[in-house]
Amino acid sequence: MSYPSRLVTTATLASLALLGLSACAPTAAPGGETSAPPSPAQTAANDGALSLEAPGCLIGDWYISQDELQGFYDSVTEASGSGVAFVVDGDTGLSFDGAQFEYTPDLTLTIGLPGSEGIATLIGSISGAYAAVSGTVITSSETVDVEYTYSIGGVTQDATTLFGSAITTAPIGGGEFECTPVGPLVQFDNGFGRVPVQLVPAT
């Protein structure tokens, strides 16, 4: 594979996978369905014991660890079969308040191929409305405020425009979720399918 071809492959995978800022379009709620307002028992996750009831268990400020993100990116390598390797340095936050979500990545991603290595950085937020419908997170009206740079061969560029819509949606849209004793387990979109990502309370 030539260097330009490897660059295209790397850039494509990076755009699909950079913490799930996948190429999927935002998902609208079917038939106008919305989740019921949380009951008093379904309070914010950080107010003592975590709720195990849906949809209230989503509500709160959550943290996705570097180890959890590494597992997410390892799934991209495996699913793509491309040999592109990702090494994560950083973490991200995700919050739900019953009506709105905010996804706040702050990470550096080393993207490796034989003979070349690229460095991607992602910082900012994606926010919007959401509804928890039959155990699935449905997002809409997303607002993107993300800076994404990509450097390979010593050349750094603003990749927000380069990768276009591939980095303009949050990975949670359309993902099923489970309530667990440590926090919600949400199926993130990695560009090839869905991968479970564990959320834990932010401190």
Q: What is the pLDDT of residues 51-67, one digit of tens each?
A: 889 899 999 999 999 99
Do 11 and 150 touch, CB atoms closer than 8 A? yes
Q: Which amino acid is at 134?
A: S
Q: What is the pLDDT of residues 194-203, one digit of tens each?
A: 999 999 999 8
> What pTM value is reported for the model?
0.77
Q: Which residues pair with 125 in a beta bridge?
A: 145
3-state SS class at 186? strand
Q: What is the pLDDT of residues 77-110, one digit of tens each?
A: 898 887 888 999 999 999 999 999 999 999 999 9
- 28 pLDDT exceeds 90? no
Q: What is the pLDDT of residues 178-190, one digit of tens each?
A: 999 999 999 999 8
3-state SS class at 119? strand
Per cent of the chain over pLDDT 70 is 72
Distance CA 197, CA 88 (A): 15
> What pLDDT does residue 41 have?
32
Q: What is the pLDDT of residues 3-22, one digit of tens each?
A: 334 444 455 555 545 545 44
